[in-house]
Structure 1
Amino acid sequence: MRLLTAALATLAATAQAHPGHGIAADTHWHASDAWGFVLVGALVLLAIWLSRGD
Structure 2
Amino acid sequence: MKSVLSAAALAWAALATTPAAAHEGHGLPGSSHWHATDTAGLLLVVVLAAGLAWWTRRK
User: Quick check: TM above 0.5?
Assistant: yes
Name segments (4+ residues, structure 1) moved above 3 Å: none
Determine which of 23, 44, 52 is the counterpart of 1:39.
Answer: 44
More helix by share: 2
Distance 1:23 1:50, change over 3 A: farther
Number of paired residues? 41
Distance in 1, matches of 2:28 and 2:49, equals 27
What TM-score do you get using the length of structure 2 for normalisation?
0.55
What TM-score do you get using the length of structure 1 for normalisation?
0.59
Determine which of 20, 25, 43 is the counterpart of 2:25.
Answer: 20
Look at both structures and tell me which one has the larger radius of gyration over its CA atoms: 2
In structure 2, stretches of 5+ residues that fail to align are 1-16
| Greater relative CO (CA pairs within 8 A, separation 6+) | 1
